[in-house]
Amino acid sequence: MELNGGEIIVQCLKDEGVEYIFGYPGGAVLHLYDAIFHQDDVKHILVRHEQGATHSADAYARATGKPGVVLVTSGPGATNAVTGIATAYMDSIPMVIISGQVPSPVIGSDAFQEVDTVGITRPCVKHNFLVKDVTDLAETMKKAFHVASTGRPGPVLVDVPKDITDPNIKVPYHYPEAVNMRSYNPAVTGHKGQIKKAVDMLMEAQRPVIYSGGGVVLGEGSAELRELTQMLNFPITNTLMGLGAYPATDRQFIGMLGMHGTYEANMTMHESDLILAVGARFDDRVTGKLTEFCPNSKIVHIDVDPASISKTVTVDVPIVGQVKPVLQQMIDLVRESKQRPSEDALQAWWGRINQWREINCLDYDRNSDIIKPQYVVEQLYEVTGGDAFITSDVGQHQMYAAQFYHFDKPRRWINSGGLGTMGFGLPAAIGVKLAHPDSEVACITGEASIQMCIQELSTALQYNTPVKVINLNNRYMGMVRQWQEFTYESRYSQSYMDTLPDFVKLAEAYGHVGMLIEKPADVKPALEEAFAMKERTVFLDFITDRTENVYPMIEAGKAHNDMKLRRAPGAPVDRELS
Amino acid sequence: MRHIISILIENESGALSRVSGLFSARGYNIESLTVAPTEDPSLSRMTLVTRGNDQIIEQITKQLNKLVDVVKLNDLAESVHIERELMLVKIRTTEGTREEVKSLSDIFRGKIIDVTPNTYVVEMTGPSDKLDAFINALSEESIVEVVRSGPTGIARGEKGLQV
Ligand SMILES: Cc1cc2nc3c(=O)[nH]c(=O)nc-3n(C[C@H](O)[C@H](O)[C@H](O)COP(=O)(O)OP(=O)(O)OC[C@H]3O[C@@H](n4cnc5c(N)ncnc54)[C@H](O)[C@@H]3O)c2cc1C
Ligand SMILES: Cc1ncc(C[n+]2csc(CCOP(=O)(O)OP(=O)(O)O)c2C)c(N)n1
Ligand SMILES: [Mg+2]
């Protein structure tokens, strides 16, 4: 079969089983768009801004585990995609980005719409390629998918100069079944001796805790994680990225840890004598002050990326490998072993944890006559039966979503954790809805974040992806305002906007349904009404309490046992507990 | 501590900037970096000199290994090894100083490879501290130009850094 460059790319996507490609045309990719025109196996989703394309593709990947695919033109097309590429990079999301480039002979001459895309994206991709010969194109595409989706996943960019897709140059097409790269051999199974050592430590622990992260979601290790945790009766906490990998409604789950984690999760970490870290990277939002992080704990760390191990916190037993096989190896060893962790010690440990739970750190004022954002999330959980895919933007609303929507399954919670990209939520919801058309998809957002990619409401109409936008409208960049309240004596510098749009009319202008909800009593009925409109995208503008803050909070540079808690009813100040 | 890291990397355009970009992005320092193709033209060999405590060096080697183009690497500081650097020095000479420069160069096993009425160019290889010593032995005013390659190195013994 002889194909031209554009046809080769399309054929590679078909051979790779790609369903959707999210993109936006322009001069450098017109040959490729012509090849797309001639087929309909790979469906092209025309976004309204290249950032939207990257977030939709990224969320498609988060929701399915399959790499998301993006197509953008050279110059501004590529630069607009950078935020989304960096977002995927920080959260280790498999994605393949095809960018057009000016023709090879003029590269370097400041040609029209030329930027050094390979150079600009280098620090925020797992790898990138510049295609120099059309005969290399198919193999390069295979390598891109291979690198993006194996080991620690990540975005891979393929920059394609326009002459490579010249319709008049046809070459034989062959898509390799597999590629062998001598320089790239990610680990799979872990070192047996290390695993044995780790299991011995689990058996000896008096105050153990399992701390698991996004790696369990990425590595499809939820079933194994659950089995091991329940065999051992250990408490388990998840990072923001790991939510859903262990069922949040299970008794052994003690909530998220870190800056806005629960009191019980952070105290359990701090007081533990053994941490089993699984696919988590000891991020600064999680550890707080490093010198006071878990002072008495031995740490076992399972991670596929050796560079994640002992990067910020030195660990005692490193295990490099994929979570799924390594956890399975551990389960087998525990099963074979006659030893079990001390029941007395565990009982005493659970006793302390349950006392910390009694603080009820997530409690909020349920009698308020202003809508509390937490209440909206709780009602959303009720109305969707806890089984919706939830995307979010960045800010307080993101934390309320993480704290109050109890994710029982992996890949249901889709948010930008590492880069914290405002604008992620709406295009992400579209990507998820395309992946799971029969599931409910809601985007929990704020009035500032939603405006960063609001243009994608138009894409949602064109491709009929009915999602529910839950706008927790506090008329503030709430997260920024909260920091200003705590650390800048409430000098609210530039953290609010005087001129918010009428979101109901805006939604209607885009062809959707808009609803304004101002009273707590209307929250649930509004949600029910919105979710009853199965075929419509509905924008629910909830006017929420402007002064509400996210608690608990470990302020930057403080330790796990130094949390700020919500003030007790009637008390004049926030509680500082330790 | 000073470390000298040998890297085998795919000889692709952009490979060098992946390495140098990694160092600047993560705030590691590079004292010197040399690179040239190996006997297998699809591979380049880099020698990189850097400094840091054990934890930083561990991260540097892990991050380098993570680069998709890096095939193999070796921290020479972990084994007995040989280091050599090439230096060319242009030295201002006069009737009166020529003999002295020549004998100094001989002591350091340098070679005079270019002569003009007013200058010598001396070629010298050796461990970096030997080259430093030669420079220090010259008078400051006499030095017109110093060009140094940065160190390259190889481990002693039978093992080699190979694919
Ligand atoms: C406003 C805001 C507030 C935040 N507050 C918090 C907070 O309170 N608590 C919190 O936890 N986070 C919080 N975050 C998120 C935080 O910034 C990090 O993104 C997050 O903590 C990282 O999660 P993780 O450690 O699970 O790592 P991820 O980024 O999910 O990384 C996954 C790790 O697993 C490894 N891995 C990947 N695949 C596999 C596999 N198959 N097998 C083995 N290992 C694998 C990777 O190498 C990596 O080390 C906040 C973010 C924002 C924007
Ligand atoms: C693109 C981008 N710019 C700036 C920030 C910094 N930032 C983090 S949260 C936030 C405010 C978000 O406000 P809103 O969307 O209304 O959410 P709220 O906190 O009020 O729930 C800002 C500006 C960011 N995360 N992303
Ligand atoms: Mg807001």
Residue-wise pLDDT tens digits, A174-190 = 999 999 999 999 999 99
Q: Best of A51, A419, A424, A449 to mutate for ligand 2, by most ligand atoms within 8 A of CB?
A: A449
CA dist B65 and B92 (Å) reads: 45
Which atom of ligand 1 is least distant from the CA of A259?
A: 8
**Using 50, 70 and 90 to split pLDDT, how confident is the model at A573?**
low
Least CB-CB distance to A122: which of B9, B21, B65? B21
Residues of chain A numbered 381-420 and touching chain B (CB < 8 Å): none
C-alpha to C-alpha distance for B60 and B66, rounded to whole angstroms: 10
Say which of A147, A305, A307 has its CB closest to residue B68. A147
Which of the residues A162, A372, A468, A564 is marked catalytic?
Answer: A162
Q: What b/e readout covers A265-284, taking b as 16+ CB neighbours within 10 angstroms?
A: bbbbbbbbbbbbbbbbbbbe
The answer to whether B43 and B116 have CB atoms below 8 angstroms apart is no
Contact A72, A101 (CB under 8 A): no
CB proximity B53 to A under 8 Å:
no
Region A324-329 average pLDDT: 98
**Which residues are found with C-beta within 5 Å of the ion, ligand 3?**
A 446-447, 474, 476, 478
CA distances to A85, A297, A342, A394 from A348, in Å: 47, 17, 10, 38
Closest CA to A453 of A98, A91, A80: A80
HEC string of A269-316?
Answer: HHHCCEEEEECCCCCHHHHCCHHHCCCCCEEEEEECCHHHCCCCCCCC
Residue with token string 């050094």: A116
- Which residues on neighbouring strands pair with residue B121, listed in sequence order? B90, B114
What is the rounded CA–CA span in Å between residue B102 and residue B113? 11
* Nearest-atom index, ligand 1, CA of A213: 26
pLDDT for A498: 87
Distance CA A196, CA A330 (A): 8
For chain A, report the end-to-end CA distance as a whole number of angstroms: 70
d(CA A446, CA A140): 40
What does the alpha-carbon distance between residue A405 and residue A388 come to, in Å, rounded to a whole number?
A: 10
Whether A131 contacts A140, CB under 8 Å: yes
Mean pLDDT across the stretch A144-155?
98
3-state class of A466 per DSSP? coil
ipTM over 0.90: yes
Overall residue count recorded for chain B in this entry: 163
Sign of the CA dihedral A489, A487, A559, A449? positive
Specify the DSSP class assigned to residue A566: P
A300-319: per-residue pLDDT in tens? 999 999 999 999 999 999 99
B9 contacts on A by Cβ (under 8 Å) = 183
Burial class (CB in 10 A: 0-12, 13-18, 19+), B27: exposed
Q: Which residues in chain B are closer than 8 Å to A126, comparing Cβ atoms?
A: 68
Q: Which of residues 265-324 of A touch B (CB under 8 A)?
A: 305-307, 310-311, 314
Q: How far is A3 from A274, CA to CA, in rounded Å?
A: 58
Give the A window 169-208 contacts with B, CB below 8 Å: 181-184
Mutate which of A225, A260, A283 for ligand 1? The one with the most ligand atoms within 8 Å of its CB, which is A283
Name the average pLDDT for chain A.
97
Nearest protein Cα to ligand 1, atom 23: A241
Contact criterion met (CB < 8 Å) for B59 and A130: no
Residue pLDDT, tens place only, A203-257: 999 999 999 999 999 999 999 999 999 999 999 999 999 999 999 999 999 999 9
Residue pair B90/B119 in contact (Cβ under 8 Å)? The answer is yes
- Provide the percentage of residues in chain A whose pLDDT is more than 90: 97
> Number of A:B CB contacts under 8 A?
37
The rounded distance, in Å, linking the Cα atoms of A234 and A273 is 12
Q: Note if A329 is an active site residue.
A: no
pLDDT score of A303? 98
CB spacing of A184 vs B65 below 8 angstroms: no
SS3 content of chain A, % helix, strand, coil (to 5): 40, 20, 40
Q: Model confidence over A468-508: pLDDT tens digits? A: 999 999 999 999 999 999 999 999 999 998 899 999 999 99
Q: State how far the Cα of A303 lies from the Cα of A256, in Å rounded to an integer.
A: 19
**pLDDT value, residue A570:** 62
Q: What's the mean pLDDT in A248-271?
A: 98
pLDDT higher than 60, residue A578: no
Cβ–Cβ of A184/B68 closer than 8 Å? yes
CA-CA distance, B28 to A168, in Å (whole number)? 48
Q: Determine the residue among A183, A185, A281, A312 to mutate to test chain B binding: the one whose Cβ has the most chain B Cβ atoms within 10 Å.
A: A183
**pLDDT tens sequence across A44-70:** 999 999 999 999 999 999 999 999 999
Residue A169's region, left for phi above 0, alpha for psi from -120 to 50, else beta, is beta
Q: How far apart are CA A428 and CA A409, in angstroms?
A: 18
Residue A162 appears among annotated catalytic residues: yes
Q: Which of B12, B40, B66, B67 to mutate to test the interface with A (most CBs of A within 10 A)?
A: B66
Record: contact A123-B59, CB cut-off 8 A: no
Indicate yes or no: CB of A122 within 8 angstroms of CB of B70.
no
All residues at 6 or more sequence positions from A477 whose CB lies less than 8 Å from its CB, including other chains: A395, A446, A448, A495, A496
Q: Whose CA is nearest to atom 12 of ligand 1?
A: A240
Q: Residue A429 C-alpha to ligand 3 middle, in angstroms?
A: 19
* The token pair that represents A205 in the structure block: 């622990």
Query: What is the tens place of the pLDDT at every residue in A351-378?
Result: 999 999 999 999 999 999 999 999 999 9
CA distances from B101 to A460, A573, B128, B132 (A): 79, 79, 20, 16
Q: Which of A123, A181, A307 is closest, CB to CB, to B59?
A: A307
Angle at which helix A396-404 crosses helix A373-383, to 10 degrees, equals 40
Predicted TM-score (pTM) of this structure: 0.97
Angle between helices B98-107 and B128-137 (to 10 degrees): 160
Two tokens, residue A280: 């988590």
Task: For residue A483, give every residue at least 6 positions away whose Cβ sits within 8 Å of its Cβ, in sequence order, or none.
Answer: none
Taking each helix axis from N to C end, the angle separating B15-26 and B54-66, rounded to the nearest 10 degrees, works out to: 140
Decide if A112 is catalytic. Answer: yes
- Catalytic one of A141, A256, A477, A479: A479
> What's phi and psi for A237, nearest 5 deg?
-125, 150
Could you read off the pLDDT of A445-469 as tens digits, one per residue?
999 999 999 999 999 999 999 999 9
Mean pLDDT of B91-117: 96
CB contact under 8 A, A314 and B55: yes
How much is the average pLDDT of A540-568?
A: 93
Amino acid identity, residue A256?
M
Shortest CA distance from B11: residue in chain A: A183
- Whether the per-residue pLDDT at B78 is higher than 90: the answer is no
- Among the partner-chain residues B18, B66, B71, the one whose CB lies closest to the CB of A305 is B66
C-alpha A454 – ligand 2 centre gap (Å): 14
Q: pLDDT band at residue B13, thresholds of 50, 70 and 90?
A: confident
Distance from CA of B62 to the nearest CA of A (A): 5
The dihedral built from the CA positions of residue A436, A473, A88 and A116, taken in this order, carries a sign that is: positive
Whether residue A575 has pLDDT greater than 70:
no
Is A310–B55 a contact, with Cβ atoms under 8 angstroms apart?
yes
Cα–Cα distance between A114 and A74 in angstroms, integer?
6
Which of B10, B21, B59 faces A123 most closely, judged by CB atoms? B21
Interface of A with B in 119-138 (CB under 8 A): 119, 122-123, 126-127, 130
Pocket of ligand 2 (CB under 6 A): A 393-397, 420-422, 446-449, 472, 474, 476-480
Contact between A209 and A353 under an 8 Å Cβ cutoff? The reply is no
Task: Residue B146: name the closest of B161, B131, B126, B163 by CA.
Answer: B131
Going across the sheet that includes A389-392, the strands are A413-414, A389-392, A441-446, A468-473, A538-543, A513-517
CA dihedral A549, A553, A557, A562 (to 10 degrees): 140
Residues B88-98: what's their mean pLDDT?
Answer: 95
Contact A378, A403 (CB under 8 A): no
Q: Confirm whether A50 is a catalytic residue.
A: yes
A-chain residues near B65 (CB < 8 A): 306-307
Interface touch B18/A122, C-beta < 8 Å: yes
**DSSP class of A241:** G
Q: Does position A567 have pLDDT exceeding 80, yes or no? A: no
| Percent of all residues in chain A with a pLDDT value above 70, rounded to a whole number | 98
Q: Which residue of A has its CA nearest to B71?
A: A183
- Using CA atoms, how far apart are residues A97 and A22, in angstroms rounded to an integer? 9
What is the model's pLDDT at position A577?
58
Inter-chain contact A183–B55, Cβ cutoff 8 Å? no
How far does CA A379 lie from the centroid of its chain? 23
CB contacts, 8 Å: A183 with chain B: 9-10, 68-71
